[in-house]
């Protein structure tokens, strides 16, 4: 027995592959009898890849790692035995570019450890066509791999599953391109979303679903309709076999809502819809899925000035409108909201005929006139020249204020340009028509100074008429500045020395208040002899330039109290409107 025992002991050595019998199965190790003087143990996890459950008495191949450890036990490895047995086979597979099955054992930095009989490394980039986010979820799963790198000295093996998948996809892609024709309906999965569309995986072949082919309605980004991973059916629109590009459509699976658009939305019909988008130039209204109409900002109101639709509308508002026009080729519908109401300008000529007396409040003042409200949306413009028969009015604020109640007479109704002109002076008789009944040359009159200018002073007389006292007619003595002789609102007596009906002018002389008839004639002759441009002494020139260039000159050359302050324009909106 000693001799037999000695022979058995000498037949075992570290690195040797032997067969052993399972004698005990523990939670963390398997006890194996290899016929040596002591039993050996193999970690349980080295048998996890076996398809059949281990049983006591089963024969297994093991590699002797160490004949005796500190406890006198034999250290064995089933994995290393298989590794050594399979190494030549793995080497042949690698050289031929072949495939091998394996089970993912663990996730490590940069990839996975795969058991293919030996441990091999699968980089993250080679796991799938798209790198999985969670590598731990793959542990325990079995796949087929391709050996792409083998280092015999270091016993290092690198695998790839991606290459196998790409090969399969290439074969599937070639098959799909060969059998696919435009009009086919195919199932696919959303692979990626971009600003211009979505890429759909057609089981090996990627196709582009452009954003314009997703819906008949308004889609600004694919994410409004699709999500990555979503399965859907698409229509093949076009195939380029040379570049392997496939164009896909989703909306083509549904009937084109624009096919019978003229019948569904005849011009002039009232429709309803939801505001889906607001732009500076108008509002888009969805009439049905895939059909939108545009309400231009000018079609929102007959009378109100609306600068942008957001002033009266907001997204998701349900509104009614009238169909104004349809362009089927460009898939455009023009809508109008103001057409739901009667256009007040259609009845303006009938309601406000020329000569009609109207009343209303001053709504706005501009440099050229005032706007009087007639009714909601309708204003009449009173030009500054139509405020008074007799007074020279430079700005309407001299006479009118916002909110003031006034009466006027309609002078013109321009329906095409939506304008009504009115005048206040037309309600009263023109005093110049009967001027001879009021004033004659030589009459002695009284009045108050209403305005000072460098060339003289205006004096307010009865019948709302102004007379001009030239600076030379103030005093027998020379007057250098009119402000030194007269003050605004000062009451004066003067003599009428000239009446010009054609030019609607009255000349006055304060210094001639006590003149005789002969002196008056002499003074009148002096005035008649003056020529325009001679130091601003011509009466006609004085009248013509009042409030104009000469008054501007006066403002620049005299002290502030010498000239009237120029009125400010209260509102420029109406000026733009005019």
pLDDT at 342: 75
Same-domain status, 533 and 509: yes
Q: Which residues of 445-457 are buried (b: 16+ CB within 10 A; e: fewer)?
A: bebebbbbbbbbb
d(CA 424, CA 383): 9
Residue 26 has pLDDT above 50, yes or no: yes
Over residues 230-252, mean pLDDT: 85
49 & 63 share domain: yes
Q: Do 463 and 523 share a structural domain?
A: yes
Is residue 290, in this structure, part of any structural domain at all? yes
Q: Tens digit of pLDDT for each residue in 436-490?
A: 788 888 888 899 988 888 888 888 888 778 888 898 888 888 888 888 888 888 8
In a domain, 415, yes or no: yes
3-state secondary structure of 544: helix
Neighbours of 327 (CB within 10 A): 10
Vertex 548, ends 547 and 550: CA angle to 5°?
A: 100
pLDDT at 50: 61
The structure tokens listed for 139 are: 């542990």
What is d(CA 72, CA 212) in angstroms, rounded to the nearest whole number?
A: 77
Of residues 321, 266, 317, 268, the one with CA closest to residue 293: 321
Asked if residue 393 belongs to a domain, the reply is yes
Asked if residues 61 and 21 have their Cβ atoms less than 8 Å apart, the reply is no
Residue 117 falls inside a structural domain: no
Residue 556 vs residue 503, higher pLDDT: 503
Indicate whether this model's pTM tops 0.75: no
Phi, psi of 324 (to 5 degrees): -100, -35
Q: Are residues 29 and 62 in the same domain?
A: yes
Nearest to 547 by CA among 370, 382, 385: 385
Q: Is residue 553 part of a domain?
A: no
Co-location of 211 and 305 in the same domain: no
How much is the pLDDT for 526? Answer: 65
User: What's the first-to-final CA gap in the chain, in angstroms?
Assistant: 130
Q: Which of 340, 371, 389 is the last residue of a domain?
A: 340
Same domain (yes/no): 393, 336: no
Contact between residue 295 and residue 337 where contact means Cβ atoms under 8 Å apart: yes
Same structural domain, 412 and 349: yes
Cα–Cα distance for residue pair 245/177, rounded to 1 Å: 9
Question: Residue 408 belongs to a domain with what CATH number?
Answer: 2.40.50.140
Q: Which long-range contacts (CB under 8 A, 24 or more apart) does 69-72 make?
A: 72/38
Residue from 207, 212, 206 nearest 225 by CA: 212
For the stretch 499-531, pLDDT in tens is 887 778 888 888 888 877 777 677 666 666 644
Please indicate, yes or no, if residue 404 is contained in any of the structural domains: yes
Three-class secondary structure of residue 354 per DSSP: coil
In this predicted structure, what is the pLDDT of residue 542? 43
The residues near 514 (Cβ < 8 Å, ≥ 6 apart) are none
The domain tally of the chain equals 5
457 plus 526 within the same structural domain: yes
Q: Does residue 158 sit within a domain?
A: no
* pLDDT in the model for residue 422: 92
Domain region containing 325: 261-340
> Where is the domain boundary, 21, 50, 80?
80
CB atoms within 10 A of CB 267: 12
Instruction: Please state the rounded mean pLDDT for residues 342-360.
Output: 82
CA dist 538 to 319, 439, 495, 542, Å?
A: 67, 21, 18, 6
Q: Judge if 324 and 351 occupy the same domain.
A: no
**Where is the domain boundary, 340, 356, 375?**
340
Mean pLDDT value across residues 558-574: 35
Asked if 305 and 370 sit in the same domain, the reply is no
Q: Is residue 577 part of a domain?
A: no
> What confidence score (pLDDT) does residue 531 get?
42
Dump pLDDT digits (tens) for 109-153.
Answer: 889 999 887 788 999 988 887 788 888 888 888 888 888 887 766
Same domain membership, residue 248 and residue 193: yes
Note the maximum CA span of the chain: 179
Residue 574 has a pLDDT of: 36
Q: How many other CB atoms are found less than 10 A from the CB of residue 400?
A: 20
What pLDDT, on a 0 to 100 scale, did the predictor assign at position 296?
Answer: 93
Do 234 and 277 lie in one domain? The reply is: no
């Amino acid at each position: 027995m000693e001799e037999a025992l000695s022979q058995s002991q000498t037949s075992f050595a570290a690195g040797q592959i032997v067969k052993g019998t399972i004698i005990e199965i523990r939670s963390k190790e398997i006890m194996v009898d290899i016929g040596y003087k002591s039993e050996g143990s193999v970690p349980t996890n080295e048998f996890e890849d076996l398809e059949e459950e281990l049983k006591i008495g089963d024969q297994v191949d093991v590699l002797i790692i160490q004949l005796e450890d500190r406890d006198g036990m034999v250290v064995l490895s089933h994995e290393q035995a298989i590794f050594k047995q399979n190494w030549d086979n793995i080497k042949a597979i690698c050289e031929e570019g072949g495939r091998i099955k394996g089970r993912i054992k663990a996730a490590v930095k940069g990839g996975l450890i795969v058991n293919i009989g030996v441990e091999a490394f699968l980089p993250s980039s080679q796991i799938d066509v798209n790198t999985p986010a969670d590598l731990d979820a793959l542990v325990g799963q079995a796949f087929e791999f391709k050996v792409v790198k083998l280092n015999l000295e270091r016993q290092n093996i690198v695998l790839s599953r991606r290459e196998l998948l790409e090969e399969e996809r290439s074969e599937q892609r070639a098959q799909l391109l060969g059998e696919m024709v435009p009009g086919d309906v195919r199932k696919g999965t959303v692979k990626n979303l971009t600003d211009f569309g979505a890429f759909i995986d057609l089981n090996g072949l990627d196709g582009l679903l452009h954003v314009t082919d997703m819906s008949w309605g308004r889609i600004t980004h694919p994410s409004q309709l699709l999500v990555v991973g979503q399965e859907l059916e698409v229509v093949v629109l076009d195939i380029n076999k040379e570049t392997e590009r496939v164009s896909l459509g989703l909306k083509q699976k549904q009937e084109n809502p624009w096919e019978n658009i003229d019948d569904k939305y005849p011009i002039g019909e009232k429709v309803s819809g939801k505001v889906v988008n607001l732009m500076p130039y108008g509002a888009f209204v969805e009439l049905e899925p895939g059909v939108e109409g545009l309400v231009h900002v000018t079609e929102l109101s007959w009378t109100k000035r609306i600068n942008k639709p957001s002033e009266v509308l907001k997204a998701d508002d349900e509104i009614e409108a009238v169909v104004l026009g349809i362009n089927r080729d460009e898939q455009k519908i023009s809508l109008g909201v103001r057409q739901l109401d009667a256009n007040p300008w259609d009845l303006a000529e009938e309601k406000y005929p020329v000569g009609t007396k109207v009343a209303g409040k001053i709504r706005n003042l501009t440099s050229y006139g005032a706007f009087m409200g007639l009714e909601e949306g309708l204003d009449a413009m009173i030009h500054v020249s139509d405020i008074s028969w007799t007074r020279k009015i430079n700005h309407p604020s001299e006479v009118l204020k916002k909110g003031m109640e006034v009466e006027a007479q309609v002078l013109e109704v321009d329906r095409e340009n939506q304008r009504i002109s009115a005048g206040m002076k037309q309600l009263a008789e023109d005093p110049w028509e009967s001027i001879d009944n009021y004033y004659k040359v030589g009459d002695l009159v009284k009045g108050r100074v209403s305005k000072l200018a460098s060339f003289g002073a205006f004096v307010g007389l009865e019948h709302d008429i102004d007379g001009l006292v030239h600076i030379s007619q103030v005093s027998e003595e020379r007057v250098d500045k009119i402000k030194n002789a007269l003050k605004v609102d000062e009451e004066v007596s003067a003599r009428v020395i000239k009446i010009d009906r054609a030019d609607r002018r009255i000349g006055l002389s304060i210094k001639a208040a006590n003149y005789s008839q002969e002196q008056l004639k002499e003074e009148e002759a002096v005035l008649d002899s003056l020529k325009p441009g001679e130091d601003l002494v011509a009466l006609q020139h004085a009248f013509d330039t009042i409030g104009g260039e000469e008054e501007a000159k006066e403002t620049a050359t005299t002290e502030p109290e010498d000239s009237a302050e120029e009125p400010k324009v209260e509102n420029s909106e109406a000026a733009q409107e005019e």
